[in-house]
Chains A and B, each alone.
Chain A
Amino acid sequence: MPRPFTLPDLGEGLTEAEIRKVLVREGDVIREDAPLLEVETDKATVEIPSPMSGRIEKIHVRPDQTVKVGDVLVTFADAAAPAGKESPATLDPTRRLAPTPETVVDGGRARQVGAQATSAAAGSAAPSAPARGVAVGGPVPATPATRRLARELGVDLHTVRATGRGGRVTDDDVRAAAGAPTDARVAARAPGDAAERAAESAREPRAAARPLASVGMEPPPLPKFEQWGPIERQPLSHLRRTIADRMTLAATVIPHVTHFDRADITDLDAVIRRNLEAAREQGVTLTLTAFLLKAAALALKAHPQFNASLDAAAGELIVKHYVHLGVAVATERGLIVPALRDVDRKPLLAVARELGALAARVREGKATLDDLRGSTFTITNIGALGGTGAIPIINYPEVAILGVARAREEAVVRDGQIVPRLLLPLSLTFDHRVADGADGARFASDIVRRLERPEHLLLDL
């Protein structure tokens, strides 16, 4: 019996994912837990391991396709099944008429053909080969005309995302799944072997463009840009769409207010420099971000209304008694915010070590879903890219975010003397429904004070 493997429950209310890469080929024999597919959810790029050892009989998905929990990803052949699909290559004068039936496998529908042998095995010596195309989840709700269209376009209805009422697959869904060739996507990728990628993209049908979720006001229709010059349309990646949806939500729902401050990190910088080598011997890269995390975590303990979420429907502030900090990480695919757990309770060195490992996982697309959820407050450090400051958008449903720009040596007047000091520009953006300007100012200056006394961070004071 072929065994279908479906997209497992991803938790956290996630119902769909986009296939990034298919890491196996039909006919491959793989062992249990070997990487099968790479999928991208709203939260992360996740590698899906094989649930069993066996031969891959059929792959039902392709890159850039959106799949739902329960959709069949691959079918494993029975371990005892003969390898490969050796179709009889005999010269057959009827070939010109006879279609190969494989593309239309849509099992489980026709009652009288279920579990019966099949023409795929026709021509082989054994007349009753095991049935191919056995049921992979029953009939897909669609009109007969839509099902015919799917056959004509070579689309497996089981893999199509349904948008119709009652879960019905529409003609448009089928056409979207069939996709259209594109070269626009090449540009969206990181530069690399362009020729190879172009060839790859020509092979893969792209994901269809879909409207973004709208929040509140509908934007007015766009003008016809073609009237002013040539344009091209590029579909958004799954991650881009997610970012867009979430930023629109946060920016629309939350009344943002921003407080600016600067921290004198001359001493902190000295501490980092002095201990860089010693930490490296422990396998840890000491970074400013680790200290920022620690300072924010300790400050959040003193200002719990910033470590909270607003339940607008209930009219309540949900204060969290744990401090998990989100860290914005720029990847070549877009912004991802993994969460570091219990920063307030961990020694600084441990925070730095975990931060390094987490950022590496995220950049490699290996982050787990747990890595990416549960944060209570977010820090975004854009210092590496320059600039003098930025006002980030709050990571909904959190209530505040700390933006950090590049530290610069500046002339500072101290005790009547002009001295060079290293100053770090900070911006605290928070939800004005939850806190007022004075609260924000106090919270920000608490962070500043802690950064200016690095020994306090090391001593968790």
Chain B
Amino acid sequence: MVMGDLVREVDVVVVGGGPGGYSAAFRCAELGLETVVVDADKRLGGVCLHEGCIPSKALLHVAAVIGEAERAKEFGVEFGAPRVALDPLRTWKTDRVIGKLARGLSSVAKAKGVDVVGGRGVFEDSRSVRVEGDEPQKLRFAHAIIAVGSAPAHLPGLAAESDRVMDSTGALEVRDVPARLLVIGGGYIGLELGQVYAALGSAVTVVEMTAGLLPGVDRDLVQPLARRCEKLFAAIHLGTKVGALRMLRASVEADLGGHGTHEFDRVLVAVGRRPRSEGLGLSATRVTVDARGVIVVNEQCRTDDPHIYAVGDVTGEPMLAHRAMRQGKVTAEAIAGRPVAYDNVVVPAVVFTDPEVAWCGLTEGEAARRGQSVKAAKFAWAASGRAATLGRADGLTRLLVDPESGRVLGAGIVGPGAGELIAEAALAVESALTVEDLAVTIHTHPTLSETLMEAAESLLH
């Protein structure tokens, strides 16, 4: 008898151990369902914890400390030039941050009785998954949850055959600090990692195909970030396509469209992420996958196959861990027979650059596309006491409000801490609060959170 012939019957199989997968699995277990997570690396946390959100934030914190130390000159405090030792930096990131969190997730899984199986999950039909790899076996399920996430997209013709060309995963390893780094893509990944490497000492060149950094984000929010990037980066080329990359012995030569040909020590390709819906054996099921590789789901995150659900990046944009986690919990409860739906109004988004950019709900661009009339309330941080004490008056807090009901429909914030501040705005939009609700709530003084209250007040008569 071969191991692969063993059939194990379970209530729920979760394919993929990232934030969507482990959130779903934990909730399933809480609801009394026997749950198994199949993960290729036999780990929980997925890209988010191991090669995405968490390591990039750890490195951005390092960059922020370097930036703050630099700024301290303004207050008459000088630290001198930073000396960065990469080994302790990597150890801190990998062991103290990622390792600690991963161990935490493992112990939660153990406590909840969620079994994690190492291997690639491949569907054999609508009721069973074959595990290929370290722990081969066959799982027969009542329900399956696909939570395989996404992978960095690659540019055709720019294949990463050289280790000088990295994707975000490679860049987060910080094998070295290249003297000259080319970042292809001016989206959030490119800018976050570009700022990390710039802080560590690289001369960073960012090339973005569209006319502005952070495509899709309202321009008033991008502007303070763009100004900061102009100072940090060696060059920013907008509306530019990289023509070709030529591998030299110790460097890469890149044709930067109309901006000439330049040599770089490393290239980071950060042109978005693609759902990982291939190789899952979905053709053996009734799951529908669209042309972009996105798995089609309904309000309960159920696919067209009644036994199979999907959550997270594999179900399309916005590809954000916190969306996946919410979907995972909804799915678990739907499987348990509870009347739930993924009906969230907002998925807040944060770019963890310096300054941070965050938004939730309706954007000005979306309102304009829909022809929806909204009132905008802007509060410039130049008038914030807290921003002044931080030496950061370049921020902006902006609310978009329904002119009739006064309900907050969307919010955008740029400035240090925007990622934390957006939470209050997200609660306001999700709960259909009005500007009056925000304006009459006492906010601690002096804090940046007052900027939300001030913006709301500006719309009261």
**Is B one of A's binding partners?**
yes
Residues in chain A within 8 A of chain B (CB atoms) = 92-94, 96-99, 101, 103-107, 109-110, 112-113, 116-119, 121-123, 127-128, 133, 139, 141-144, 147-148, 151-152, 154, 164-168
Q: How far is the CA of A133 from the CA of B300 in the complex (A)?
A: 12
Nearest-CB residue, chain A, relative to B430: A144
**Do B143 and A151 touch across chains, with their CB atoms under 8 A apart?**
no
- Taking the complex as formed, is B339 at the interface, i.e. its CB lies under 8 A from any CB of chain A? yes
**Do B306 and A123 touch across chains, with their CB atoms under 8 A apart?**
yes
Choose among B301, B343, B407 the residue that contacts A106 (Cβ–Cβ < 8 A). Answer: B343
**Do A99 and B338 touch across chains, with their CB atoms under 8 A apart?**
yes
Q: How far is the CA of A136 from the CA of B97 in the complex (A)?
A: 46
- Taking the complex as formed, is B345 at the interface, i.e. its CB lies under 8 A from any CB of chain A? yes
**Do A112 and B298 touch across chains, with their CB atoms under 8 A apart?**
no
By a CB distance below 8 angstroms, the chain A residues around B344 are 109-110, 144
- Taking the complex as formed, is B337 at the interface, i.e. its CB lies under 8 A from any CB of chain A? yes
Nearest-CB residue, chain A, relative to B406: A166
**Do A99 and B334 touch across chains, with their CB atoms under 8 A apart?**
yes
Choose among A92, A107, A113, A123 the residue that contacts B297 (Cβ–Cβ < 8 A). Answer: A113
Choose among A97, A127, A166, A168 the residue that contacts B11 (Cβ–Cβ < 8 A). Answer: A97
**Do A110 and B304 touch across chains, with their CB atoms under 8 A apart?**
no
Give the contact stretch, choosing among B62-70, B376-384, B432-440. B432-440
Q: How far is the CA of A154 from the CA of B339 in the complex (A)?
A: 8
**Do A167 and B343 touch across chains, with their CB atoms under 8 A apart?**
no
By a CB distance below 8 angstroms, the chain A residues around B342 are 110, 113
By a CB distance below 8 angstroms, the chain A residues around B336 are 97
Nearest-CB residue, chain A, relative to B339: A151
Q: How far is the CA of A154 from the CA of B335 in the complex (A)?
A: 18
- Taking the complex as formed, is B302 at the interface, i.e. its CB lies under 8 A from any CB of chain A? yes
Q: How far is the CA of A148 from the CA of B339 in the complex (A)?
A: 8
15 CB-based A-B contacts, threshold 8 Å: A98-B337, A101-B300, A104-B299, A104-B340, A107-B299, A116-B298, A118-B298, A122-B305, A123-B306, A128-B288, A133-B298, A139-B343, A141-B407, A154-B339, A166-B434
Apart from A92-B306, A97-B33: 16 A-B pairs, beta carbons within 8 A? A94-B143, A97-B11, A98-B335, A99-B334, A99-B339, A101-B302, A110-B341, A113-B298, A116-B298, A117-B304, A122-B286, A122-B306, A127-B288, A143-B431, A151-B339, A165-B437
Min CB distance B14 to A, Å, is 15
List the 10 shortest-distance A-B pairs measured between CB atoms, nearest first.
A141-B432, A143-B431, A166-B405, A122-B306, A151-B339, A166-B434, A109-B343, A119-B302, A166-B407, A118-B298
Nearest-CB residue, chain B, relative to A126: B304
By a CB distance below 8 angstroms, the chain B residues around A103 are 339
Q: Is the interface of B mostly helix, strand, loop or mixed?
A: loop
**Do A94 and B142 touch across chains, with their CB atoms under 8 A apart?**
yes
**Do A110 and B299 touch across chains, with their CB atoms under 8 A apart?**
yes
Nearest-CB residue, chain A, relative to B31: A97
- Taking the complex as formed, is B55 at the interface, i.e. its CB lies under 8 A from any CB of chain A? no
Q: How far is the CA of A139 from the CA of B407 in the complex (A)?
A: 13
By a CB distance below 8 angstroms, the chain A residues around B436 are 165
By a CB distance below 8 angstroms, the chain B residues around A112 are 297, 315-317
**Do B432 and A142 touch across chains, with their CB atoms under 8 A apart?**
yes
Min CB distance A138 to B, Å, is 10
Min CB distance B334 to A, Å, is 6
List CB contacts (< 8 Å) of B330-380 with chain A.
Answer: 334-345
By a CB distance below 8 angstroms, the chain B residues around A164 are 432
- Taking the complex as formed, is B109 at the interface, i.e. its CB lies under 8 A from any CB of chain A? no
Nearest-CB residue, chain A, relative to B437: A165
By a CB distance below 8 angstroms, the chain B residues around A143 are 430-432
- Taking the complex as formed, is B423 at the interface, i.e. its CB lies under 8 A from any CB of chain A? no
Interface bracket on B: 35 or more
Among A93, A105, A141, A168, the one with the most B-chain Cβ atoms within 10 Å of its Cβ is A141
**Do B306 and A139 touch across chains, with their CB atoms under 8 A apart?**
no
By a CB distance below 8 angstroms, the chain A residues around B143 are 94, 97-98
- Quick one: given A127-B286, A147-B343, are A99 and B304 in contact (CB under 8 Å)? no
Q: How far is the CA of A141 from the CA of B402 in the complex (A)?
A: 12
**Do B405 and A104 touch across chains, with their CB atoms under 8 A apart?**
no
Q: How far is the CA of A110 from the CA of B344 in the complex (A)?
A: 6
List CB contacts (< 8 Å) of B20-70 with chain A.
Answer: 33
Min CB distance A187 to B, Å, is 34
Q: How far is the CA of A104 from the CA of B333 in the complex (A)?
A: 13
Choose among A93, A147, A152 the residue that contacts B142 (Cβ–Cβ < 8 A). Answer: A93
Nearest-CB residue, chain B, relative to A121: B304
Q: How far is the CA of A105 from the CA of B342 in the complex (A)?
A: 11
**Do A117 and B406 touch across chains, with their CB atoms under 8 A apart?**
no
Min CB distance B325 to A, Å, is 14
Q: How far is the CA of A151 from the CA of B296 in the complex (A)?
A: 23
Q: How far is the CA of A73 from the CA of B433 in the complex (A)?
A: 27
By a CB distance below 8 angstroms, the chain B residues around A154 are 339
By a CB distance below 8 angstroms, the chain B residues around A97 are 11, 33, 142-143, 335-337
Q: How far is the CA of A142 from the CA of B433 in the complex (A)?
A: 9
**Do B297 and A144 touch across chains, with their CB atoms under 8 A apart?**
no
Min CB distance B154 to A, Å, is 24
By a CB distance below 8 angstroms, the chain A residues around B341 are 104, 106, 109-110, 151
Q: How far is the CA of A256 from the CA of B313 in the complex (A)?
A: 72
Q: How far is the CA of A117 from the CA of B339 in the complex (A)?
A: 19
Min CB distance B142 to A, Å, is 5
Min CB distance A98 to B, Å, is 6
By a CB distance below 8 angstroms, the chain A residues around B407 are 141, 166-168
Nearest-CB residue, chain A, relative to B294: A112
By a CB distance below 8 angstroms, the chain B residues around A117 are 288, 296, 298, 304
**Do A148 and B405 touch across chains, with their CB atoms under 8 A apart?**
no
- Taking the complex as formed, is B307 at the interface, i.e. its CB lies under 8 A from any CB of chain A? yes
By a CB distance below 8 angstroms, the chain B residues around A133 are 298-299
Q: How far is the CA of A106 from the CA of B335 in the complex (A)?
A: 18
**Do B304 and A98 touch across chains, with their CB atoms under 8 A apart?**
no
Q: How far is the CA of A148 from the CA of B406 in the complex (A)?
A: 24
- Quick one: given A97-B142, A122-B286, A166-B406, are A148 and B340 in contact (CB under 8 Å)? yes
Nearest-CB residue, chain B, relative to A119: B302
Q: How far is the CA of A106 from the CA of B339 in the complex (A)?
A: 12
By a CB distance below 8 angstroms, the chain B residues around A165 are 434, 436-437
**Do A167 and B302 touch across chains, with their CB atoms under 8 A apart?**
no
Choose among B301, B305, B345 the residue that contacts A109 (Cβ–Cβ < 8 A). Answer: B345
Q: How far is the CA of A414 from the CA of B434 in the complex (A)?
A: 76
By a CB distance below 8 angstroms, the chain A residues around B288 are 117, 127-128
Q: How far is the CA of A144 from the CA of B339 in the complex (A)?
A: 13
- Quick one: given A117-B298, A119-B298, are A127 and B337 in contact (CB under 8 Å)? no
List CB contacts (< 8 Å) of B281-338 with chain A.
Answer: 286, 288, 296-307, 315-317, 334-338
